Amino acid sequence: MSWFIFSEVMFFAAFFGTLFYMRIFSIPDLAGLGSKILWPDFVGEWPTAGPGIAEKFMPMSPWGLPAINTLILLTSGVTVTWAHWALKLNKRGQLKLGLFLTFALGFLFVGLQAYEYGHAYSDLNLKLTTGAYGATFYMLTGFHGFHVTLGSIMLLVIWCRVMAGHFTPENHFGFEGVAWYWHFVDVVWLGLFIFVYWLI
């Protein structure tokens, strides 16, 4: 499980690296003197669709749904930790409730992100085809949403196993592995909130 999460860290590191390279090197270079012949009106400021793309869009604001989703995921990190401690202390009622709250918050996050995508597409004209900003926005948030969906399904399966009486305070690696994965998903979202939504 550690190696799997490490591979996922590298996956997202490549995406964050792409965003960093685009914002710090590519966009300013495309607005430099050497490119003025090709794109005289292009200004190298982020967020941008890139040179040669006339379609206008609005970037996603960090306050509103993204901030609510951040609170939801941070809360789910607390509930899964609470469930883990309950399992170690053999408090089955708290374990069941904590796990239920965790996957319910995960599915709520995914539902709100789908709503956010609808808002971005229809009200902000922010699409996958909206050049550099649109592509990186949907690439990073979309893959993260996919990971939250998988994590929520894994938590639901673990909850069903808990309801069936599986896991003991001494033997519960299946639970721990999914909890590690869920904390990884939380940390990646904090990076997304800061670098994709907030620091525009």
- The residues near 146 (Cβ < 8 Å, ≥ 6 apart) are none
Q: Is the dihedral of CA 74, 75, 81, 87 positive or negative?
A: negative
Residues 60, 122 contacting (CB under 8 angstroms): no
CATH class of 59-198: mainly alpha
pLDDT tens-digit readout, 151-190: 999 999 999 999 999 999 888 999 999 999 999 999 999 9
Three-state DSSP at 199 gives coil
The Cα 96–Cα 165 span in angstroms is 10
Letter for the amino acid at 152?
S
| pTM of the shown model | 0.91
pLDDT tens-digit readout, 53-92: 777 899 989 999 999 999 999 999 999 999 999 999 999 9
Domain range annotation of the chain:
59-198
Q: H or E stretch including 7?
A: helix 2-21
